[in-house]
Amino acid sequence: MTTQQPLNAEQPENPPREECGVFGVWAPGEEVAKLTYYGLYALQHRGQEAAGIAVADGAQMLVFKDLGLVSQVFDEQTLVAMPGHVAIGHCRYSTTGSTTWENAQPVFRNTPAGTGVALGHNGNLVNTTELLSRARKAGLIQNQGLEAATTDSDVLGALLAHGSADTSLEQAALDLLPTVRGAFCLTFMDEDTLYAARDPHGVRPLSLGRLDRGWVVASETAALDIVGASFVRDIEPGELLAIDADGVRSTRFAEPTPKGCAFEYVYLARPDSTIAGRSVHATRVEIGRRLAREAPADADLVIGVPESGTPAAVGYAQESGIPFGQGLMKNAYVGRTFIQPSQTIRQLGIRLKLNPLKHVIRGQRLIVVDDSIVRGNTQRALVRMLREAGALEVHVRIAAPPVKWPCFYGIDFASPAELIANAVDDETEMVEAVRRTIGADSLGYVSKEGMIAAIEQPASRLCAACFDGNYPIPLPGHTALGKNVVEQMLATTARDASSPAAETVAAPQHP
């Protein structure tokens, strides 16, 4: 049995977060910057730290990006000043590199031929140190202190632009992508052409859509819907698309070995999206049904934790025959803020986002369905809040298996020591320990088998590493992983270069 330090009630929950969403459009005659803005709006849930758009008109490229939500970064005046026929967009949550303007995307690089390349990346690479070493040797990455970008995405952009010195950007991508390891969905562009690529495992979703006068690519199908594009197909694992006046060209740069992220269905994706032909909403409802069969409880009312817990709560109610009710109200305007809360506000905790409907909850035995438990702080505060609102019993049900392992493919989980389900090896003892920690009358998780059955994909085509520790893409040593791996590598190089020994070697010799 392993042990874990007691959880601090003042610690933030740090829910799982996506790294980003990507969007791209090629549509002569359309306002592509505005289409991209609305596409990113639909993908805002995938990243709230920064947003950016690159647009080109065949002759020049313009990139505008900043920290903040899509609606905070762009306004009508900015978008009108970005004419063109091809654009890409990006909304970011950082899992590699700090939250700085330099790390906002799209990444922009000049090619040796004087043209531009802009790139947006969703996912995480596992051979970043190898790629960074290659870029450093080619003189593409310089130590610039706080003004340097420090993401795996910037390294990709540098190598891609450099590779097109003696060839086309399309060929440069076909040369580079087979050497890239990890999870990546890319949208990139030059002055004329839109490109999209998906890693051979297809860890993150990426779809192709059709407009009347063009084409769209997006992280989720919900973003196609919002701009009026019809879904064509998923971009295949190991596929590179090029879209220009000649249409859509498809090239395989690697053999596909699909390992789509199971957590996309459980939590990350919008419920109105479709991944690999399976509705995310239908999956969550079916998970709820299976959860009711696997972890029943005697109660009066089933409620969901908005928003991602609600479809599973509906499924649980349908299967169990226990009525579904709306017992929690969510503040729709709570998002990422750069204003630090005071101690008084911090103590309110979960009430900033959720508030109970006391007349619904009072005197009821509740089944509360949530999407996942990370540290357990949110659920502990929620259970306490529901009891204060008059609930007689609170039975917590989780629409995902226990999260025991961190993700290295584009989700920012807490560290293993902070994952509450990682505290005890024995499954039964772990569930009981978590139940006691959050203060629930009972606790139940859906099984991994039940989740996979609800997703309706073969287990062999899914990545469930955060649940079972089986990582489909081999990982390097721990020193080559982590959010700040590029920053640490650049800092080490800078220290070595400024050391007295280095200065002695580099000093000119005088007679």
Q: Which residues are catalytic?
A: 20
Going from the C-alpha of 107 to that of each of 64, 116, 186, 446, the distances in angstroms are 10, 10, 11, 40
Does 168 show up as a binding residue in the annotation? no
Residue 233: exposed, middle, or buried by beta-carbon count in 10 A (0-12, 13-18, 19+)?
exposed
Q: In whole angstroms, what separates CA 140 from the centre of its chain?
A: 27
How many helices (H) and strands (E) the chain has is answered by: 18, 25
Query: At 163, which amino acid appears?
Result: G
Phi, psi angles (nearest 5°) of residue 287: -60, -40
Instruction: Return the exposure string of 173-189: e unless at least 16 CB atoms fall within 10 Å of the residue's CB, then b.
Output: bbebbeebbbbbbbbbb
User: Of the candidates 323, 308, 214, which has an alpha carbon nearest to the alpha carbon of residue 267?
Assistant: 308
Give CA–CA dist 397/371, Å, rounded: 9
Does 463 show up as a binding residue in the annotation? yes
Q: Which residues pair with 17 in a beta bridge?
A: 412
Give CA–CA dist 67/50, Å, rounded: 4
Structure token digits, residue 47: 């990243």
Does 371 show up as a binding residue in the annotation? yes
Give CA–CA dist 397/440, Å, rounded: 10
Contacts of 343 (CB under 8 A, 6+ apart): none
Does 66 show up as a binding residue in the annotation? no
> Greatest CA span in the chain, whole angstroms?
93
**What single-letter DSSP state applies at residue 177?**
G
Instruction: Return the exposure string of 467-488: e unless at least 16 CB atoms fall within 10 Å of the residue's CB, then b.
Output: beeebbbeeeeeebbbbebbbe
Give CA–CA dist 389/303, Å, rounded: 14
User: Of the candidates 442, 397, 434, 430, which has an alpha carbon nearest to the alpha carbon of residue 289?
Assistant: 397
DSSP assignment of 393-431 equals: EEEEEESS----S--SSSEEPPPGGG-GGGS-SSHHHHH
**What single-letter DSSP state applies at residue 220?**
S
Give CA–CA dist 60/81, Å, rounded: 13
Does 91 show up as a binding residue in the annotation? no
Q: Binding site, residues? A: 261, 308, 370-371, 407, 463, 466
Q: Binding site for Mg(2+), residues? A: 308, 370-371
Q: Binding site for [4Fe-4S] cluster, residues? A: 261, 407, 463, 466
